[in-house]
Amino acid sequence: MNALRLSFNPAKTLTRVLASSFALFLFSAGVSAQDVVNRWGPTPSASSYGDDFDDLFWLITALVSVSFALVVILLVVPLIRDRARPGKKASYDHGTSLHDKRFTACVSIIVFVVLDAWVLVIAMEDLQTGFWNYPNPDNAATYKVEVLGQQWAWNFRATGLDGEFGTPDDILTTNTLTVPKDRPISMNFTSKDVIHSFFLPDMRTKRDVNPGSVNIAWFEPVIAGDFDILCAELCGFAHYQMYGKLHVLEQDVFDTWEKEASLMAQAAYDKNDTEAHWAWEWQE
């Protein structure tokens, strides 16, 4: 009884438990990292600039994970190493010596220059070559869409075959947007009521949709299929229901679709119903 009590060393046990659970964590994380990404990670990128975005995302995740692990180690090791034991008094250090201050400053600068600046430069480059690299609106390949957000729906207006907004063949849809694959899709956004945010997770595209002003964004889908359209700005009670579908069609299928949609639009067009003609002048 007595012997047992003596052989039990709480600090040692704690160290062992911590160390083995950390090993277990690393082991399980290593085995199932792919699973974790598949299940909780982002869907595969479907746009031309999406991969750059993802690379940056994973870089930041990696840098932050490494920094976090380092900080945890630096915290836990001294805690255990310098703890009070029989014959040893715990040592306290507030890091106020000149040496310590220099050390802290150096680490901060290194972290800032190496991590933050690195990430910032890549981010700015990605923005310049991707998100802000707006397609030429006069290029016939650029497909233009006006997006009018509202509580709680997305209204879309495409030009139809004539390439101009505000004409009877404008293709009007609610909550579904059909676009051609491998062409830049240029969008103008505004809102009728409150702030919304147009979010295409698969395209890695997101833009605020504000009342009273027009925002712009673009993307180029490189995979055909159906994707989600979400609202990423809490906009009222039914915000969670404010979603739509993006249909990306191969060019030839799209041509068939566009021709028919344009004809349907003309069948439904009413020139007297001016309140329904909400197109605005294209903004670049």
> Among the candidate windows 13-21, 30-38, 90-98, 272-280, which touches another protein by CB under 8 A?
272-280
H/E segment holding residue 276:
none
Q: Is residue 276 near another protein by the rule CB under 8 A?
A: yes
> What crossing angle do the helices spanning 50-81 and 118-126 adopt, rounded to 10°?
170
The C-alpha angle 231, 237, 241, rounded to 5 degrees, equals 45
CA distances from 32 to 43, 60, 66 (A): 17, 20, 18
**The length of the chain, given as a count of residues:** 284
Closer to another protein by Cβ: residue 17 or 238: 238
CB 217 within 8 A of CB 229: no
Q: Of Cu ion, another protein, ligand HEC, none, which one does residue 283 interact with (CB within 5 to 8 Å by kind)?
A: another protein
Strand order in the sheet with 171-174: 171-174, 153-158, 143-150, 185-191
Neighbour count for residue 45 (Cβ, 10 Å): 20
Chain residues binding ligand HEC by CB under 6 A are 151-153
Q: Compute how many residues bind another protein; rule: CB under 8 A.
A: 60
Q: Is residue 190 near another protein by the rule CB under 8 A?
A: yes
Nearest approach, Cβ of residue 259 and Cu ion (Å)? 32
Q: Is residue 161 near another protein by the rule CB under 8 A?
A: no
Q: Is residue 136 near another protein by the rule CB under 8 A?
A: no
Nearest approach, Cβ of residue 42 and Cu ion (Å)? 21
**Residue where the block lists tokens 């063949």:** 169
> Among the candidate windows 40-48, 68-76, 89-97, 256-264, which touches another protein by CB under 8 A?
256-264
Neighbour count for residue 216 (Cβ, 10 Å): 15
Closer to another protein by Cβ: residue 50 or 180: 180
Chain residues binding Cu ion by CB under 5 A are 196, 231, 235, 242
Q: Of another protein, ligand HEC, Cu ion, none, which one does residue 231 interact with (CB within 5 to 8 Å by kind)?
A: Cu ion
Nearest approach, Cβ of residue 76 and another protein (Å)? 32
Q: Of Cu ion, ligand HEC, another protein, none, which one does residue 142 interact with (CB within 5 to 8 Å by kind)?
A: none
Which backbone phi and psi does 240 adopt, to 5 degrees?
-65, -15
Q: Is residue 138 near another protein by the rule CB under 8 A?
A: no
Neighbour count for residue 177 (Cβ, 10 Å): 23
CA distances from 47 to 26, 123, 134, 203, 275 (A): 33, 17, 14, 5, 35
Closer to ligand HEC by Cβ: residue 177 or 203: 177
Closer to another protein by Cβ: residue 61 or 174: 174
Instruction: Tell me the two tokens of residue 117.
Output: 């600046």
Nearest approach, Cβ of residue 160 and another protein (Å)? 12
**Residue where the block lists tokens 């190496």:** 114
**Interacting residues toward another protein by CB under 8 A:** 117, 120-121, 123-125, 128, 132, 134, 148, 150-153, 155, 164-167, 172, 174-175, 190-194, 210-216, 236-238, 241, 249, 253, 256-257, 260, 263-264, 267-270, 272-281, 283
